């Protein structure tokens, strides 16, 4: 599965919130989508999934709904869980995308997803009674159980404790290493630098940089996109980024 977006534009209230995006994400990639608040990250992810109307070409949205559900799973930014189903039942909802799968395959996918997010001890708890971070892990497990070649996640590590954040970033890199594609919006530049194979900087609905972390996270790009200064060192396991200060405009 290759997500191919060409000249994708999404308008909200007449304004192009996503403006002529060209983007391809393929197997083996863990792509971090970065950008300031309001840059259009959520809109881009939802548009890519065919959840918002858009102009342009979109390989995923072009698929019939049932096929799309087997091609891409989504962890949304909102963490509200409406029904007091158990964690196990919530995760099993990811299997709705595979109505013809054998029971064994469903069971294995749910167990693997629960294990990947360390949710086994919480499996019988009502999902509505979990903490915010636990709910995030349960929703991510539901997406994993869907067992798709593409995983799209909107701020998947927001609100997670440091160990869980690293765990999720490693999990995503592992999925990419086994040949899947992961596209995730992120605000933690340091973790993105360390774990993603590719970064995209989005600014006012347009891509301003796209490439390996070491070429995207330059002083100039960080200043232009986020208005911050940072120290970027290059360690053996990738760039190490330390935020230093905001840039104050002088006129």
Ligand X SMILES: Nc1ncnc2c1ncn2[C@@H]1O[C@H](COP(=O)(O)OP(=O)(O)OP(=O)(O)O)[C@@H](O)[C@H]1O
> Which residues contact ligand X by CB under 6 A?
12-13, 17, 35, 37-43
The residues, any chain, with a CB within 8 Å of residue 162's CB and separated by 6 or more, are none
Instruction: Return the number of the residue (4 or 188) whose C-beta is nearest ligand X.
Output: 188
Nearer to ligand X, 38 or 174 (CB): 38
Instruction: Compute CA distances 138 → 121, 134, 141, 173, 187, whole Å.
Output: 12, 6, 5, 19, 21
Residue 41 CB, nearest distance to ligand X (Å)?
4
For ligand X, the closer of residues 145 and 151 by Cβ is 151
Cβ(168)–Cβ(186) below 8 Å: no
For ligand X, which is the closer residue by CB, 92 or 200? 200
**How far does CA 130 lie from the centroid of its chain?**
22
- Quote the tokens at residue 219: 């002083």
| Placement of tokens 């992810």 in the chain | 45
**Least Å from the CB of residue 191 to ligand X:** 15
Closest CB to ligand X among residues 47, 95: 47
Nearest approach, Cβ of 9 to ligand X (angstroms)? 13
Residue given tokens 């997406």 in the structure block: 143
Shortest gap between Cβ of 149 and ligand X (angstroms)?
A: 24
In the complex, least distance from residue 45 CB atom to ligand X, rounded to whole angstroms = 8
Cα torsion through 104, 110, 111, 116, rounded to 10:
140
Q: If residue 87 lies in a helix (H) or strand (E), which one and from where to where? A: helix 87-92
- Work out how close the CB of 202 gets to ligand X at its nearest, in angstroms, rounded to a whole number: 7
d(CA 163, CA 72) in angstroms, rounded, equals 26
Nearest-CA neighbor of 126 among 144, 138, 114, 117? 138
Nearer to ligand X (CB atom), residue 22 or residue 214: 22
Fill in the DSSP letter of residue 125.
S
């Amino acid at each position: 599965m290759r997500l191919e977006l060409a000249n994708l534009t999404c308008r909200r209230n007449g304004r192009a919130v996503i403006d002529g995006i060209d983007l391809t994400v393929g197997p083996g990639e863990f792509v971090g989508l970065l950008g300031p608040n309001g840059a259009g990250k959520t809109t881009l992810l939802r548009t890519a999934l065919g959840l918002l109307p858009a102009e342009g070409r979109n390989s995923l949205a072009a698929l019939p709904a049932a096929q799309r559900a087997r091609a891409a799973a989504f962890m949304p930014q909102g963490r509200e869980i409406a029904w007091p189903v158990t964690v196990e039942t919530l995760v099993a909802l990811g299997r709705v995308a595979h109505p013809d799968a054998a029971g064994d395959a469903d069971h294995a996918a749910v167990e693997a997803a629960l294990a990947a997010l360390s949710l086994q001890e919480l499996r019988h708890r009502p999902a509505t009674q979990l903490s915010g971070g636990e709910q995030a892990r349960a929703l991510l497990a539901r997406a994993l159980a869907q067992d798709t070649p593409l995983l799209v996640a909107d701020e998947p590590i927001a609100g997670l404790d440091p160990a869980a954040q690293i765990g999720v970033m490693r999990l995503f890199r592992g999925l990419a290493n086994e040949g899947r594609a992961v596209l995730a919006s992120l605000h933690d530049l340091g973790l993105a630098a360390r774990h993603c194979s590719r970064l995209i900087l989005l600014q006012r609905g347009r891509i301003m940089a796209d490439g390996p972390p070491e070429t995207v996270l330059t002083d100039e790009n960080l200043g232009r996109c986020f208005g911050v200064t940072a120290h970027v060192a290059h360690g053996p396991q990738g760039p190490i980024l330390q935020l230093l200060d905001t840039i104050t405009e002088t006129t």
